[in-house]
Structure 1
Amino acid sequence: MSEDGSTLARRQLGKYLRNGRDECGFTIQQVAELIERSASTLQRIEKGTAVRIRTIDLEALCKIYGFGPEQLRAMKGLATQGSEQSWWCEYGDAVPTNFDFYVELEASARQLTSYEPEFVPGLLQTPAYTGVLIRTANPTDNTEEHMRRVQLRTRRQLRIARKHHPVILDVIVRESVLRGLVGSPKIMATQLRYLAEASTRPNVNVQVLPFSAGFPVADPIGPFVIMEFGMSKQGQMVEPPVVYTERSTGGLYFAKPAALEHYHQSYESLRRSAMDAVDSRALLRKVAKEYA
């Protein structure tokens, strides 16, 4: 069955509602009686298979689960995406900016396959490097808010180092990531040494696409992440994979098989032209010394 972005939006909505019900200790039958709907209807909503959700039902569910105004607005924003062919998460529009669906998806993923032509991927950034990017992107925020954003990203990185089922991270960065100055030479030197050290972990693979490789993918391609969620004990996908690409106005999510295949093929084209892991690590350390 072909999945598109609207299915992803419904699936995320269902997950939030299911988590809200679990936190309140209700069964599906109990909540269904409270909103005067059938248990099967509520189950379809939670599984993301209900194509249309009545606003009155969504408002009732959010009230039962104690969701605040921002959460309610986010749930409504997701519900309205049901008829779209792909799902734009426009910052500051239908979905509030502090409702970060990418972080939610990333936290559930077992493997992340990422291409980054401009910056070190978020999960591999040092606090100082992150701090520079966050201050640049949010110039009106105060110091406390900047620190909160840095701490959020740092907490996300714990999944790489944990002993039990660490996330598998497969990354290709363009050489411009190494050469583009973020903050200061000292920050860059520390960042590149950290990136080289992180690549020695068994669950982390980092490869550099050198300038000499040119452009292995014919079409212009920006940063993207392929998120895969692992297999169940029965040998079935826990959730269908998702591709996330970032734009200046928001993030675009793809879940159609054709789109997934396109990004997988693009990644393999980039990998064939990239330096191997050992040579990439050596280059990272070499450039770090140049900055130092």
Structure 2
Amino acid sequence: MSREPANTTSTVPRRQLGKYLRDWRTQSGLTIADAARLMEWGASTLQRLETGHSDRIRLIDIRELCRIYGIPGEIAEGLEGLASQSVVQSWWHAYDDAIPESFDVYVGLEAAAQQFVSYRSELVPGLLQTADYARALYRLDNPDATDAEVERRVALRVQRQAPINRRNHPATVDVVLDESVLRRLVAGPRVMAAQLRHLADLSTREHVTLRVLPFAAGMPLGLPTGPYVILGFGTDAKGRAGEPPVVYVQGFTGELYLERAADVDRYRRAHAALAACALDVPETRRLLRQLGKEYAAA
């Protein structure tokens, strides 16, 4: 294989491909040197692939790595789909494209993130959902799912909240919720009461900043942004800069990932404007507890 330049642009598909391959290599008990030897590569070639900096990715090589690591067929299919994506910094992942819908690209980014900056206009974000709230939403989206499948999905949702719940160095969260999120009845008053109490309790944590944008604030930006999450990856154990930030926008038929600095900056400015018009943290907490009591009494 020809030598690739070390400064190849890293993009979400390639970063996620590299993470999955690294994790599966580790699970298989192989070192980079071991796996590279089996591929008849230099160790640096595999290292660039695992860090998302390889500029030439061949599907035949990805298939062979999947075979060596013992990666199951459905996951291997998803990795091949990631490998086939163009090197672009604005990536629309349609649910019916080369990557199966069951292969969740976002989960890998979420697990690695150290900062979450988010705005939600309709629903409580997954990181802050109670199990009952998440269960109700999943049943609505998947009416034919068995009870066992529903519970498995809810358990996965709760497990994905680990970055903000871990005791040491939890991820920081800065969320603005539109007031409609609090007023929109999901699964009945009892579930909503518990969800709002949960949000109020979370807002007491030092690493969680939660604010509500009231109806009275109108449209601070003059147009809707839609829901978004800005994921930051901080620094590594040695204090080196992590991966570049990503804006994630979930749609009904796919997901948008934005990495260009100009796009990320625009979302950061929008978030600052929304936060400036929102209730402060103590006011938000009081509103959450008040509405929680109203739901509980309904």
* Same-fold status (TM-score > 0.5): yes
More off after superposition, 274-283 vs 194-203: 194-203
The runs of 4+ residues in structure 1 deviating greater than 4 Å are none
Q: Which amino acid aligns with 1:120?
A: V
Whether 1:104 aligns to 2:108 is yes
Q: Which amino acid aligns with 1:72?
A: A
Alpha-carbon displacement from aligned partner over 1:221-264 (angstroms, at most 9, x marks no partner): 11111111111355432211111111001211111111110110
Paired residues of 1:130 and 1:150 also in contact (CA < 8 A):
yes
Cα RMSD for the two superposed structures: 1.8
Unaligned runs of 5+ in 2: 1-6
1:153 paired residue number: 157
Output the CA distance in 1 between the equivalents of 2:161 and 2:52. Answer: 29
More off after superposition, 35-44 vs 213-222: 35-44
What's the CA shift for 1:84?
4.3
3-state SS of 2:243 partner: coil
What's the CA shift for 1:209?
0.1
3-state SS of 2:85 partner: helix
Q: Which amino acid aligns with 1:96?
A: P
What's the CA shift for 1:163?
1.4
1:184 paired residue number: 188
Whether 1:199 aligns to 2:203 is yes
1:38 paired residue number: 42
* CA gap 1:39/1:158 in 2 versus in 1, 3 angstroms: closer
1:133 paired residue number: 137
1:220 paired residue number: 224
More off after superposition, 277-286 vs 30-39: 30-39
Whether 1:144 aligns to 2:162 is no
More off after superposition, 265-274 vs 190-199: 190-199
More off after superposition, 272-281 vs 217-226: 217-226
What's the CA shift for 1:61?
0.7
2:17 is matched with which residue: 13, 16, 26? 13
Q: Which amino acid aligns with 1:17?
A: L
Q: Which amino acid aligns with 1:205?
A: T
Residues 109-124 of structure 1: matches in 2 within 5 Å? 109-124=113-128
TM-score, normalization by structure 2: 0.92
* CA gap 1:130/1:76 in 2 versus in 1, 3 angstroms: same
* CA gap 1:102/1:36 in 2 versus in 1, 3 angstroms: same
Paired residues of 1:52 and 1:82 also in contact (CA < 8 A):
no
Output the CA distance in 1 between the equivalents of 2:255 and 2:286. Answer: 33
More off after superposition, 44-53 vs 127-136: 44-53
Unaligned runs of 5+ in 1: none
Paired residues of 2:91 and 2:256 also in contact (CA < 8 A):
yes
2:286 paired residue number: 282
Aligned residues: 290
Q: Which amino acid aligns with 1:227?
A: L
